[in-house]
Amino acid sequence: MSELGDVEALLRSALAPVEPAEGLSDRLERGLLELTDAAAGELADTELSAMRNPRNWGRPMAAAVVGGTAAGALVLVRARQLQKKRQARGARAIEKAVQDVSDGLRRRLGG
């Protein structure tokens, strides 16, 4: 019976939550910002007249997918940061993060 208790104690210690390194969140946020900026720049540089030809759709479509994914991940990272700081919980944290990311994109695109 003591072996079972030992196994349970080992499992509890092995499966305990681990907080990521403090700088990881900042590095992840910077990387996502860089991806979002690069995608927004690519989309801003795309000439609409060239879009008549479907062969020219590859780069803008890839930029839209990468930028959208990076922006979505950035929203989640910032919502988690707001939750940790106890400034907002749940849907309110996501709403504040979406507003923050969209304001940043507008500033970068000059609109």
Which distant-in-sequence residues (6+ apart) come within 8 Å of 68 by Cβ? 39
Cα separation of 65 and 19, whole Å? Answer: 30
Residue 44 near residue 109, CB atoms below 8 Å? yes
Distance of CA 92 to the CA centre of its chain: 17
Q: How do residues 48-87 score in pLDDT, each as one tens digit?
A: 888 888 888 898 899 999 999 998 888 888 887 777 777 6
| 3-state per-residue secondary structure call for the chain | CHHHHHHHHHHHHHCCCCCCCHHHHHHHHHHHHHHHHHHHHHHHHCCHHHHHCHHHCHHHHHHHHHHHHHHHHHHHHHHHHHHHCCCCCHHHHHHHHHHHHHHHHHHHHCC
Q: pLDDT by residue (tens digit) across 13-32?
A: 888 777 777 788 888 889 99
Domain ranges of the chain: 24-109
